[in-house]
Amino acid sequence: MSDRLAKYSELFRKPGPWCVAYVDASAGTVDGLEAADVQPDNVRNALAGLGASEDDLEAVAGAIQPATGEPSPISRYVLVRQGEVVMNELLPGALLGPEQISTDVVPDLLPLLKHHPDGFAYVVAEVSREEGEIRLHRAGRQAAEESRHIQGSDENLKKVPVGGWSQGRYQRHTEEIWRRNADQVVEQIDKVVRENNARLLVLAGDIRARQLVADQLSEASKAILSTVDSHTLAAGSDREKFEDEVNSLVAQQWATEQGQLMDRLAQQEGQANPESATGFGAVVHALQQAQVEVLMFDDGSLTDRTVLALNAEPWLATSEEESLGAEVLGKVPAAAALLRAAALTDARVELVPSPALPDGVEIAALLRWPTGPEVPGAT
């Protein structure tokens, strides 16, 4: 599933009600500050009108604060349950859709996913002959999730050989130090890549150090490696240019993966028993069977749709007859229910624009196993 949804999948099993506030948090102007001053009361009043408890109202109002000192525009997402602030996140950029203030029987994480559409892990490693800086990132997020610094040996690296050392012996000794340092860096890179299922590794730094590291990487790390020809750890290096190159590589990876998904979907069209489903009813049915590997939809096309959220498998239904004995929690927006069902069945989610999907299709899925023949017993 989306890494973002995976992190919060346990929330979807907990009973509501859930209070959501997805609002503009910008406070960079006088008007912005004035609006921010009254926002907590406005959000509180809106939720009170929806029947939120006093404990929830207090928690939400306390979390809705101006993002003073943060660059504008910026948005805020707050999720509250039983008087506890479960999430309070600042999201760079303007609102990606209408402001949302709601009480729901299941948590609606759609605004988070729209700001961080996939959140696949990627690793940026900057190396020199003496050290390495390794950072774990999530696509769509500005700040690094984790950073590791490896300081190797600089024995004799900056010294002139004296006392009878031949130049060749000195060079061999120096190369050995570089290799040992590279070993330490490689060990950490491979570990971060492996533990986080990274889908892109960006390597930059001193050219000789890059070569040593690249040669010693595991096969899994080599398979996702892209190199940036820049000694980024050197004084005076162009950090802005380097970040632009990294962002370009991330965007390329994102586009490549989405293209591959669309190619897979197109290949299933017309198959007798396709490993795909298109259309709302077919995709909901596949989710009910835990059959969906990748769920793809345009949330804007589902704005007016609702489904029933259930407290157990199959997690969602279009009618009470489909609940299979599970308790009906209530009617919820379709996009929120789809995300919840995807998370609870370990499906990956991709938000895609309608033009990327087949003509007339608002939602589609790639499946873990093919759909069966329409007529029972048919071959």
What band does 144 get if pLDDT is binned at 50, 70 and 90?
A: confident
CB atoms under 10 Å from CB of 140, counted, come to: 18
How buried is 334 (Cβ within 10 angstroms: 0-12 exposed, 13-18 middle, 19+ buried)? buried
Q: What is the mean pLDDT of residues 150-173?
A: 55
What is residue 2's predicted lDDT score, i.e. its pLDDT?
A: 52
* Lowest-pLDDT range of 45-54, 143-152, 169-178, 208-217: 169-178
What band does 4 get if pLDDT is binned at 50, 70 and 90?
A: low
How buried is 226 (Cβ within 10 angstroms: 0-12 exposed, 13-18 middle, 19+ buried)? middle
Residue 159 pLDDT greater than 50, yes or no = no
Per-residue pLDDT tens over the stretch 241-298: 889 999 999 989 988 988 899 999 999 988 888 999 999 999 999 999 999 999 999 9
What band does 378 get if pLDDT is binned at 50, 70 and 90?
A: very low
Q: What is the mean pLDDT of the chain?
A: 86
Structure tokens at 19: 């209070």
Residue 379 pLDDT greater than 50, yes or no = no
Residue 186 pLDDT greater than 50, yes or no = yes
What is residue 371's predicted lDDT score, i.e. its pLDDT?
A: 81
Q: How far apart are CA 276 and CA 368, in angstroms?
A: 9
Q: What is the mean pLDDT of residues 342-353?
A: 91
What is residue 155's predicted lDDT score, i.e. its pLDDT?
A: 56
Q: What is the mean pLDDT of residues 306-314?
A: 96
What is residue 65's predicted lDDT score, i.e. its pLDDT?
A: 83
The residue that leads in pLDDT, 240 or 180, is 240
Per-residue pLDDT tens over the stretch 12-60: 999 999 999 999 998 654 454 556 678 999 999 999 999 999 999 999 9
Q: How far apart are CA 17 and CA 296, in angstroms?
A: 27
Residue 1 pLDDT greater than 50, yes or no = no
What is residue 56's predicted lDDT score, i.e. its pLDDT?
A: 97
Cis status, amide bond into 17, omega within 30 of 0: yes
Residue 376 pLDDT greater than 50, yes or no = no
Q: What is the mean pLDDT of residues 120-146?
A: 87
Structure tokens at 204: 């930059």
Rounded to the nearest 5°, which phi and psi values hold at 371? Answer: -70, 150
What band does 201 get if pLDDT is binned at 50, 70 and 90?
A: very high
Q: How far apart are CA 23 and CA 168, in angstroms?
A: 66
* Lowest-pLDDT range of 62-66, 96-100, 290-294, 340-344: 62-66
What is residue 157's predicted lDDT score, i.e. its pLDDT?
A: 46
What is residue 335's predicted lDDT score, i.e. its pLDDT?
A: 95
Q: Say which residues have a Cβ less than 8 Å from residue 1's Cβ, sequence separation at least 6.
A: 9, 342, 343, 346, 347, 348, 349
Q: In terms of Cα–Cα distance, which of 190, 244, 265, 252 is closest to 221?
A: 190
Q: What is the mean pLDDT of residues 168-189?
A: 73
What is residue 373's predicted lDDT score, i.e. its pLDDT?
A: 58
What band does 172 get if pLDDT is binned at 50, 70 and 90?
A: low
